[in-house]
Amino acid sequence: MPQVKGKIRILFMPFADAGNTNAQSLNARAIALRLDPEVFLCTFFYEHSPDPRLVGKPGINLVQLPASRRTWAILQAMISAPHIIAYVDYSPASWLFVHLPRLLKRGSKSVMHAEAPADQMVGATRLLRSLRNGILPRCEVLTAITDFVARDLSNEGLEAQYTLPVGVDTDLFVPAATRQNARPTVLFAGTLIERKGALLVLEAASRIPEAEFLLVGSPRGGYDAVLRKRCEELQLTNVQLLGPQPQMAVVGIMERSDIFLLPSRLEGLPKVTLEAAATGLPCVVFRDYGTPSVVDGLTGFQVASFEEMVERLKKLVQDQKMRLQMGAAAVEHARKFDWNVIVPLWQDAYLQIAGVKSKAKAVSS
């Protein structure tokens, strides 16, 4: 692609509605809000009401999608020659675009930001797997959220040209001034599905009755009923299912908690662990995916088994000094992932992808 003239036009595929809490949508908005508006023009779709932070913001264009023929409207925007189509999704419009002849793409670079390993597709619908298999290999540029995800792509014969971590807003997610819970509170936040390990949270609660356990998140496929039934079977009185919560409420819940627990084995870099760390929570996660958001033994624990997870969690519950020390270290570590630190890496990558810089250099997390 030749050197570009004028602003670099980026079309972000995730919808930017105010109520959209999808992680990729939140990430895309955080990035666009920090890109240099003198250099980039970012376009977002929205359905009903756009994120008010984007409205009237220099360098950001908002397009409301029609009630019908949305795939066609999205495809039209894709073939209007943006320099970059970012956060390419597994949608019919993306499938149609990546299968167009090169001439009709008009030089646009489709960029897939891989944020999770391929095994997350286990249990997905046949249609979604088909879309993924037809879209991912045809994207001009692949990025990976961590080195682990980059290696996972390589197992499919694909190469991530960049490793670009996501970030956290450390002005929004801040540590509580004090933590004085009579009973330590363990928090889980994420979609309530089997893969996220919500049932393991309940098992941990049954083994550590001296702690309170909070689960925040939207249930999928009626999974909350599964969790409630299991609570009854285990006769748990130290568990609360709080359901989905807006972002500001989650901030408050994190500030009132003491420990963050994420018993999922299939992740990339879980943004929620960065948010928890920024609020001063030591995190306990599985080490399977080697997230850089948790430094084992310093800001929390990365464990190999559920038994080890319970052991480490119990140690944190019983040792307030350890919780506070790890929480303070977590706050410092999270600052390395502040969006204002991370977005310049994305900006440099987008400049290279658009052809502004002739020599590409991968960014490592």
Confidence category of residue 180, pLDDT binned at 50, 70, 90: confident
Residue 361 is assigned to a structural domain of this protein: no
- CB neighbours of residue 76 within 10 Å: 11
- Check residue 22 and give its pLDDT: 86
Asked if residue 164 has pLDDT above 90, the reply is yes
CATH of the domain at 128: 3.40.50.2000
pLDDT band (50, 70, 90) for residue 119? confident
Confirm whether 257 is domain-assigned. Answer: yes
Confidence band for 4, pLDDT divided at 50, 70 and 90? low
- Is the domain of 31 the same as that of 101? yes
* pLDDT beyond 80 at 117: yes
Both 194 and 130 in one domain: the answer is no
Asked if 311 and 189 sit in the same domain, the reply is yes
Q: Is residue 162 located within the same domain as residue 280?
A: no
Q: Are 337 and 29 in contact (CB under 8 A)?
A: no
My answer on whether 253 and 127 are in the same domain is: no
Look over the chain and give the mean of its residue pLDDT values, rounded to a whole number.
93
pLDDT of residue 365: 35
Residue 297 forms beta bridges with which residues?
none
Specify if 245 maps to a domain: yes
Q: What is the mean pLDDT of residues 58-81?
A: 96
Mean pLDDT over 199-204 rounds to: 98
> What average pLDDT does the segment 215-240 reach?
96
Q: In the chain, how many domains are there?
A: 2
Residue 234 structural domain: 185-335
| pLDDT tops 50 at residue 303 | yes
Question: What is the structure's pLDDT at 5?
Answer: 63
Shared domain check, 15 and 163: yes
Average pLDDT over residues 23-29: 94
Say if 77 falls within a structural domain: yes
Question: For residue 343, which of 19, 6, 59 has the smallest C-alpha distance?
Answer: 59
145 in any annotated domain: yes
Question: Is residue 173 situated within a structural domain?
Answer: no
Question: Do residue 30 and residue 160 come from a single domain?
Answer: yes
In the prediction, which pLDDT does 252 show?
96
d(CA 65, CA 326): 46
Those residues with Cβ within 8 angstroms of residue 8's Cβ, 6 or more apart along the chain or in another chain: 39, 40, 41, 83, 84, 350, 351, 354, 356
Question: Do residues 112 and 219 share a domain?
Answer: no
Residues 208 and 286 in one domain: yes
Residue 175 counted as domain residue: no
* Residue 67, domain member (yes or no): yes
- Could you tell me if 350 and 301 lie in one domain? no
pLDDT at 363: 37
d(CA 255, CA 49): 29
Q: Does one domain contain both 189 and 124?
A: no
Q: Are residues 106 and 203 in the same domain?
A: no
pLDDT of 364 > 80? The answer is no
